[in-house]
Amino acid sequence: MNEHDLQTTVTPPIAEKQPQVLELHGDQRVDNYFWMREQNNPKVIAYLEAENAYTNAMMQHTETLQTKLYEEMLGRIKETDLSVPYRKDDYYYYSRTEEGKAYPIFCRKKGSLDAPEQVLLDQNELAKEHEFLSLGVLQVSPNHQILAYSIDTSGAEQYTLFFLDLKTFELYPESISETNYSLAWGNDNQTVLYTKIDEANRPFQLFRHSLGNSVDEDALIYQESDDAYHLYVGKTRSQAYILMSVGSTITSEVHYLDANNPIGSFQLIHPRNTGVLYDVDHHSDDFYIVTNEEAINFKLMKTPVASPAKENWQTVIPHREDILLSGVSLFANHMVIYERKGGLPIGRVQNLSTGKEDKITFPEPTYNFYESSNPEFNTTILRFNYTSLITPQSVFDYDMETNERELKKETEVLGGYDRTQYKSEWLMATAKDGTQIPISIVYKQGIKKDGKNPLYLTGYGSYGASYPASFSSNRLALLDRGIVFAVAHIRGGEEMGRKWYEDGKFLKKKNTFTDFIACAEYLIGEKWTSSDRLAISGGSAGGLLMGAVMNMRPDLFKVVVADVPFVDVVTTILDTSLPLSVMEWEEWGNPNDKVYYDYMKSYSPYDNVEAKDYPDILIVAGLNDSRVKYWEPAKWTAKLRELKTDNNILLLKTNMGAGHGGASGRYESLKELAFEYAFVLDRLGLGCSES
């Protein structure tokens, strides 16, 4: 159907304007849609539902395509499947899925993989009464007799913690609400340390709970009063220490507690020092510390457990300008060193007795590699995951003594996937300041670089998060239709080292956006595609990226998909009652400072919507989203609809029962993706023959 035809029969909702003047630093911003923050206001829900109805009407002609895409993607997934079991003490733990069931089932076997299966938790059973269900914590006690698990049934990332007796399969009487993702068991199998959240969903309190006792008796161990800091509790692989980490975006401190004495007092390793990050792990008589103090790409130190103060820290791996130290992983006789060099993740394994080192290397031009579940300390086997744009998720067991690796499982892609039919490359675009920006790209063999290929470009570029070059069987739905898929590894991520991140934040944030534009221009200039065949997509802070580049260069893109987009930057970060506020000052800047206010306002997508032509746009939101509140995408949609001068399609789709991550079950998640893919294909003119 012609893109103009639908608009003659379906009228988009027009949001009511209620001007609200926001003033700071003598500057006035008029927000006509500020009222959308009132979630209990019937007008707000009515507007979101009207937008959903409009979206459904405008996408009705793609329903056949959506169904086809969904069935195609589902058809590539082995619905009844099993994860690779991992060993902890005398048990083998794994999860499995069953055809027709939306969620995993968590199981174990004792003694050997031939032993009878014991189902620990069936998430499908938990989800029966709920439209949405997400698991937070899933941790078995040290003696393997009690399971601690937590669930969120709204998408708001507020978890309730439960304890299940694995002998009787009866729940303990107590449950603990408003908890976060972290938990640590004491070695007494009786004491649990957990974190609670404040009104802004920030984990800020550490409590100690004794199983079987009333939650009212739980002792508050620590409370973090600085709104920029999050609290996390965990345990060393050695099982010797419980670690309480308190950190902001740029600063951290770690406290430790003997796990054999969980009712004891935490000791501080080193007090927080603004701008200094450090992580801690334990091995025999030492703590190993990865820190960025006077080392932008991080270095490794160690210090005696008996006297861990700063003056006793000794250098193990010095700082290097060209290699980012991502972290270390300690085993009884080995240390695994994770690094990034030239944009790619690499690994080294060091024998702690002999000092001998071996490298873990991979042949593909762009890929992702990271550690898997390794709960055992006394082992010579490292389990890691490997994937690339053309290699499905693969689980390897790597012998740290012999340097030999064994492929335990490669995720099966049903329907006859042949990786030789696809090719991936690592390209370099030149940014406007001359910096070389990496691009990971994948396509089906046989395409011609004639400027006519449809291309789907994505990116993120915030918080130092490196965008992984990972396989997706769902993505084959695009590749097999001749679409080239590319990832722009722009500044603000950490692909090329910590400076890559520093050069894409604060008063350098616009590098993130101009890098993405440079990647798009490079792909057009090299005849991979053309602007009228170019679709772009990003979520959360990647949605901010979409909004910013669309304001800067709307002519460059044909289609834009923005998932849960963080677009009302100034207003949100000024509101300290929201999760995206005080803690975000260390990423974007504090707008109470005029310098940052002016800079943020100059790129904030919502503040910079203008009367001009924009591409076709799909905006996706979650009503219960605690990270990017639903009103940001809703207000942005309303303002775009008010001001844009084109006849292109603008849709807002709000999931009224989910949060930041969208639908929780695998089938509903696939349907959401099929909807987005159908929008892109339709707008690129590739959906007509299938609709």
Which active-site residues does the annotation give?
Answer: 540, 625, 660
102 DSSP 8-state letter:
S
What three-state secondary structure class fits 148? strand
Task: Return the axis-axis angle of helices 42-58 and 631-643, rounded to nearest 10°.
Answer: 60
CA atoms in the 13 A half-sphere facing the CB of 427: 23
Kindly state the tokens that stand for 142: 């040290």
Within 10 angstroms of residue 217's Cβ, the number of other Cβ atoms is 10
Name the strands in the sheet holding 381-388, side by side, starting at the edge strand that comes first in the sequence: 367-371, 381-388, 394-399, 405-410
Question: What is the distance between the alpha carbons of residues 83 and 108, in angstroms, rounded to a whole number?
Answer: 11
Kindly state the tokens that stand for 179: 């908890």
Is there a contact between 327 and 304 (Cβ–Cβ < 8 Å)? Answer: no
Q: Phi and psi for 647 in degrees, rounded to 5? A: -105, 15
Question: What is the distance between the alpha carbons of residues 166 and 527, in angstroms, rounded to a whole number?
Answer: 60
- Hunting for tokens 């984990």 — which residue is that? 203
Question: What is the distance between the alpha carbons of residues 538 and 61, in angstroms, rounded to a whole number?
Answer: 25
Kindly state the tokens that stand for 346: 């690499």
Kindly state the tokens that stand for 323: 């290699």
Is there a contact between 73 and 674 (Cβ–Cβ < 8 Å)? Answer: yes
506 DSSP 8-state letter:
G
Q: How many angstroms separate the Cα of 365 from the Cα of each of 343, 368, 484, 549?
A: 10, 10, 17, 28
Quick one: which H or E segment has residue 325?
A: strand 323-330
Residues in the chain: 691
| E runs forming strands in 248-295 | 252-258, 267-268, 278-283, 286-291
Within 10 angstroms of residue 71's Cβ, the number of other Cβ atoms is 11
Within 10 angstroms of residue 86's Cβ, the number of other Cβ atoms is 19
Question: What is the distance between the alpha carbons of residues 456 and 452, in angstroms, rounded to a whole number?
Answer: 13
Is there a contact between 214 and 174 (Cβ–Cβ < 8 Å)? Answer: yes
CA dihedral 572→576→578→581, nearest 10 degrees, is: 60
Question: What is the distance between the alpha carbons of residues 276 and 271, in angstroms, rounded to a whole number?
Answer: 10
541 DSSP 8-state letter:
H
Question: What is the distance between the alpha carbons of residues 39 and 625, in angstroms, rounded to a whole number?
Answer: 12
What three-state secondary structure class fits 400? coil
Within 10 angstroms of residue 275's Cβ, the number of other Cβ atoms is 10
Kindly state the tokens that stand for 218: 């739980």
